[in-house]
Amino acid sequence: MKKTLLILLILCAGSASGQKFEGLALTPPMGWNSWNHFACDVNEQLIRETADAMVATGMKDAGYRYIVIDDCWHGERDSLGFIHPHPGHFPSGMKALADYIHSLGLKFGIYSDAGWKTCAGRPGSRGREYQDAMQYAAWGVDYLKYDWCYTEGLNAEGAYLTMRDALYEAGRPIVFSLCEWGNHEPWKWGRDIGHLWRTTGDIAVLFDGYVDHGAWKSWGVLQIIDMREGIRQYAGPDHWNDPDMLEVGNGMSVNEDRAHFSMWCMLAAPLMAGNDLRRMSRETLEILTNKEAIAVDQDSLGIQGFRAYVIDSVDVWAKPLMGGDLAVCFLNRGKKPKRIAFDWKKHPIVDDFAEKEFRFDQTEYRLRDLWKKKNIGTTGKVLRFEIPSHDVLMLRLTP
């Protein structure tokens, strides 16, 4: 009788039309995800310690909220088909873990896959979407990353629509992260389905280049920046382009970490740390908690930045902000330091998409260096500076 009632409930849920939970990601989500540093080596002690570290290090105060367990948390499905965590790695269960994370004022995230199996071969959600959504809601999940491995024969938009409806039917507001790698242009159809969608394949701990895994590649920071020009118009409050999680603190140089973080802020990207929060260098922590850079990412106008000029090896990126401010980031892509003399009056910033113009021959702006955290003059004078290799000068301009 119990099994029959359960099946009827799931069928009824599946027949209802759902929708996306609105207003959960009015600015790009900020948090931590286990995959980049730990891959499958996850357990409840690590997750609890990471949540503690997010609070103790000041990352929570800087805006980070989500603790997301990526692939490999899974155990088996029970006789009714409900998924359970691995009993050896998560002996207290996911509800207890979620309760602990919530007690710290943080939010709890989890991972699944639209296919038969996850990318690491654990049970996927295909055909079990409504059951999994019900389970996640019962556990107290706040964020779901939904991958795209083992999805032969599936239509991407339809598969993600099914899980969206399942989450809505389960009744708990959950941020829905579409991890489809950009293969089916999710920016064109994802707005009403999810709160963010991956635009590329996986990131690597690499600033420039790629890692060839045979059947697929993971990409350097510069490659990801270059891959998806021309889609910024699809991003905005509650629907973000996601260039993948951060590799800050995982092995690049301090310059490269700073440039990587700055560019993700300019792209209005989700800021999901991917390092070991329990063992961070001072430089890593300073990058991840730079509130002035984070304010650019979290700006409520929700406009993704764009490449306005290219000067030799230096890209000049611009991002309109609330109140008439403007973020400008000079990115040195080259392997050598680069001296720049930037005449603001000869370089207006015109953003046709946002319908905003910044003409420095007509209006003078104060310049704030967001990494040195000091004012450095105005646009009334030519800006002269040197950028080290693979580094940035990130500025906030205020009229």
**What is the number of other CB atoms lying within 10 angstroms of the CB of residue 382?**
13
Residue 319, C-beta contacts closer than 8 angstroms, at least 6 positions apart: 266, 268, 296, 299, 303, 304, 305, 306, 326, 327, 328, 329
Q: How far apart are the first and last CA of the chain?
A: 69
Determine the number of helices (DSSP H) and then strands (DSSP E) in the chain.
Answer: 11, 22
315 is catalytic: no
71 is catalytic: no
Q: What is the DSSP string of 188-255?
A: GT-TTT-SEEE-SS-B-S-SSSEEE-SS-EEE-HHHHHHHTTT-GGG-BTTBEEE-----TTSSS-HH
Indicate the SS3 state at residue 163: helix
CA–CA separation, 368 and 378 (whole Å): 9
Q: 147, 244, 299, 351: which is the annotated catalytic residue?
A: 147
CA distances from 390 to 207, 222, 274, 339, 386 (A): 8, 10, 20, 13, 12
CA–CA separation, 392 and 375 (whole Å): 16
Q: 71, 132, 165, 202: which is the annotated catalytic residue?
A: 202
Q: What is the DSSP string of 348-377?
A: -EEETTTTEEE-TTTS--EEEETTTTEEEE
- 350 forms beta bridges with 357
Residues involved in catalysis: 147, 202
